[in-house]
A and B are shown apart, each in its own frame.
Chain A
Amino acid sequence: MKHRRSQGGGRRRTDLVLPRWRMVSILVALALGLGAIVWRLADVQGLSNRRYAAMGRSQRMASLVLPAQRGSILDRNGSELAMSLQAKTVWADPRLITDVPVASEALASVLGIDREVLARRLSVDAKFSYLARKVDDSVAARVAQLELPGVFLMEEPRRFFPAATLAAPVLGTVGVDEQGLSGLELQYQQDLTGTVGQLLEERDPAGREIPAGMREFRPPTEGRQLLLTIDRAMQYETERVLAAQIVASRAKGGIAVVMDPTKGDILAMANLIADPRGPRPSADNMAVTRVYEPGSVNKVVTIAGAIEEGVVDLTSRMNVPDTLKVADAVFRDAEEHSPGWWTVGEVLAESSNVGTIMVGQRLGKQRIDRYLRAFGLASRTALGFPGESGGLLPHPDRWTGTSIATVPIGQGVAVTALQMLGAYNAIANGGTHVEPRLVRSVVGRAGDARTVPQPPPRRVVSESTAAAVNGMLVEAVREGTGTAAAIDGYTVAGKTGTARKPRSGGLGYMEGAYLASFVGFVPAEAPRLSAIVVLDEPTPYFGGLVSAPVFASLARYGVRRFQIPPGSVPATVRSVVAPAATVPSTPSPRVRETRAT
C-alpha cells in the first residue's frame, strides 16, 4: 500500500501506498528467508542427512565394547596349560568420590594396596581411574559390599596358568592387557587374540535403555586355541627329574628336551635355573635361545660325515695315540692310554678326541662344515620361536689352524640344545632330518583346525650310515661313556658330552666350568623317544655321570607313558658294534669321558 499525498484546490489527500523499493526489499527478504529455510531443509534432510543422523544417533546410542576371550593353549591331550577368564577390575570416577580418605582407607584393606597409593588414584583429575585390575572374585565381592559412591567394577579378561609354572618359558607371558610378551603367547599373538564385540543400545537422556529401542549386538569372537605337541605329564616329569639333578649336582641350571624323533614332536621342554629356594623356570626358553659349545656329542656329525663320504671304513682300524698336535696346540684324550688300533666305532663309543680329530682331518674342513649344516646345526629350526638362535658356526674360510681339530670334537662351534637333538633324531630316523614341531594345530572356536606347516623331511646321510652310527651309539651306552643312560629291557643309543664354557669375553675358557650333556634315543632298533639333557656347571662335571642318569629316568618314564615296546637289535646294528678284527688290536682303554682342550 502506498501513501500518496496530493495537494490542490486547498484539499489534501493522503494515499497509503508504500514506495515500490520498499515492497521489493520485503519480497526479497522473504524470498531469501524462505530460500535459507529450504536450503537448510535440503541440507538436513538430503545433503548432510547422514551426518546429522549420525550425530543424533551418537547422542542417544550408548556403545559398550565387549572384550574378546584370548584363546587357550592346550597340551597334546587337550589339557589346558593357559586360558583366559573374565575377572573383575575395580575402578573409580574421582569426580563422584565424596570422601577420599574414607574411601581409600576402606579399599586399602580389601584390595591390599597402600592407602596413600589409593588416595592418589582417587584424587586424579579424570573421569576414570584404575584402582586394582583383575582381582579375585572374592575381593570384587567385598568391594561391592562397601557400596562406595564413585567406585565401580567392570570385567576384563585375565590369563591363568592352571599348571602353575609348568613349561612357563615355552608358553611365555602376557601383559596386563593380554598382549603376548614372550614365548608362544607372543609368537601366536594374532591367532590367540580374538575380535572384540560391541553392544549398541538406544538410551534416554537419563541413560536408561529405551524399551524396544534400537539395539545392535556384535558378539566378541574368541581367539583360536593352540594345540601343542607337549605332553603335560612328560613335561612335569622332565622338570621334576631335571630339578632334582640340578640340586644333587649343585648345577647352575639345566635344559632337557624330549621328542618323538619320527614326527619331530617336542613332548617336553624344560628350562630351569638354580635358586636358593629350589630350581625355577628360566625367563626364556634356553633350549632354543641359548647356544653352547656341544663338545663330544658333536662327534656324531663328524663320524657320520666320514662314513658317508667313505673316508673311514667301519671295520678297518687306525692307530690312535692319546695326544695329537695340530697347528700350535696339543689335543689329548680324557685319559692317558698307549697308542692302539681302534675302529671308528670304538673311537665314538670311547669318545676319543684324538681319534675323532684324525677322522676329521681325513674328512676335511669343507665337508665337515657341509655336514654340520646338513644336520641343522647352523640354522634356526622351523619352530620360529621368538628369540631362537641359529647357532654359531664359522665359515670354513675363517677357520684358524686348530679349527680342523676343535670343530670335529664340538669346540669352537655353538649350537642350541634343540639343534643338537635334531641332529641325533636324524640318525634315529635312518638318516632323515625331521624339523621339530611345538604346535600341532591352531583350532578355531567352531572346531576348524589349521595344521601348522612343517617342512618336509630331508635326507642327511644314507640309511646305512645312520644304521652304522646308531650301532656305535648303542655301544657308547652299552660299554662306553654313557652306561648310566641304559634302561632295563630297552636298547639305548646315545652319546655323552662334557664341554668347557667359554669366557664371557669370547677368548679362552673358564677354569673349571663345564657343560655336561647326554643325547640319545630309545629303543635303538626303532626309535620312538629321544632326549637331550644339558647341565650347567654340575659337580661332577662329566656328562656320563650327571646327564646320562637324567636321560635314563626320562626314557624309563617315557616308554611307560607312551607305551613304547622294546625292540630287538637288528643285525645291521650289531655287526657294527662287534666288528671282526682284521689287524692286530690293542685293547682300547676305557675313556670315561672326553674333554676337549
Chain B
Amino acid sequence: MILALRVLLTQGQTRVDSLETRVAAERKMVRAVRLEVARLEAPVRIESEAMTRLGMVLPRVVVPLAPIGVPSRSSGP
C-alpha cells in the first residue's frame, strides 16, 4: 500500500516538474515574443524599413490643411 502511494507520489511529482518546466519555457517564449514585437514596432525600424524597403522619403514640404479663414503656409522639416 505504502509502496503504491510512493509510486503515485513520484509520478505526480514528475508531472508537476514537467508542467513547471513547460510554464517556465512558455513564459520565456512570451517575453521573447514581446521583445520581438517591441523591436518590430520601434519607430527607428519602421522608418528604416519605410525608407529602404518601400522607398519612402521624408516630405520636403508639409502643407497642412488649414481651417477656413486661416491662411495656410508651407513649411520644411
Contacts and interface: CB of A to CB of B under 8 A. Distances in A.
Interface of A: 69, 79-80, 83, 85-86, 160, 162-164, 166, 211-212, 215, 217, 232-233, 236-237, 240-241, 244, 486-489, 549, 552-553, 556, 566
A166 B31 contact: no
Contacts of B73: 486, 488
Given A85-B32, A212-B9, 10 more contacts: A80-B38, A83-B35, A83-B38, A85-B28, A86-B28, A166-B43, A236-B43, A236-B47, A244-B77, A488-B72
B70 interface: yes
Nearest to A75: B38
Contacts of A164: 42, 44
A468 to B, nearest CB: 24
Contacts of A85: 28, 31-32, 35
- Grouping DSSP codes into helix (H, G, I), strand (E, B) and loop, the B interface class, with mixed when no group exceeds half, is helix
B66 A552 contact: no
B18 interface: no
A86 B72 CA distance: 53
A160 B70 CA distance: 47
A549 B64 CA distance: 16
B75 to A, nearest CB: 7
Contacts of B41: 79
Interface residues of B, number: 27
Which of B41, B43, B44 has the most A CB atoms < 10 Å from its CB? B43
The list of the 4 closest CB pairs from A to B, nearest first, reads: A162-B38, A236-B43, A80-B38, A163-B42
Interface in B14-41: 14, 20, 28, 31-32, 34-35, 38-39, 41
Interface in B44-77: 44, 47, 62, 64, 66-67, 70, 72-73, 75, 77
Nearest to A560: B64
Interface of B: 6, 9-10, 13-14, 20, 28, 31-32, 34-35, 38-39, 41-44, 47, 62, 64, 66-67, 70, 72-73, 75, 77
A118 to B, nearest CB: 28
B17 to A, nearest CB: 9
B77 A553 contact: yes
A566 B42 contact: no
A240 B42 CA distance: 13
Contacts of B43: 163, 166, 232-233, 236-237
A241 B77 contact: yes
A339 B16 CA distance: 89
Contacts of A487: 64, 75
A237 B43 CA distance: 9
B35 A162 contact: yes
B28 A162 contact: no
B4 to A, nearest CB: 12
Contacts of B67: 489, 566
13 contacts: A79-B38, A80-B38, A85-B28, A85-B32, A162-B35, A166-B44, A215-B13, A236-B44, A237-B43, A488-B75, A489-B67, A553-B77, A556-B75
Nearest to B9: A212
Contacts of A489: 64, 66-67, 70, 72
A432 B55 CA distance: 48
Contacts of B64: 487-489, 556
A211 B39 contact: no
A510 B59 CA distance: 38
A160 B39 CA distance: 10
A211 B13 contact: yes
Nearest to B74: A488
A163 B44 contact: yes
Contacts of B32: 85
> Which of B9, B13, B28, B44 has the largest number of chain A CB atoms within 10 A?
B44
B70 A80 contact: no
A241 B43 CA distance: 13
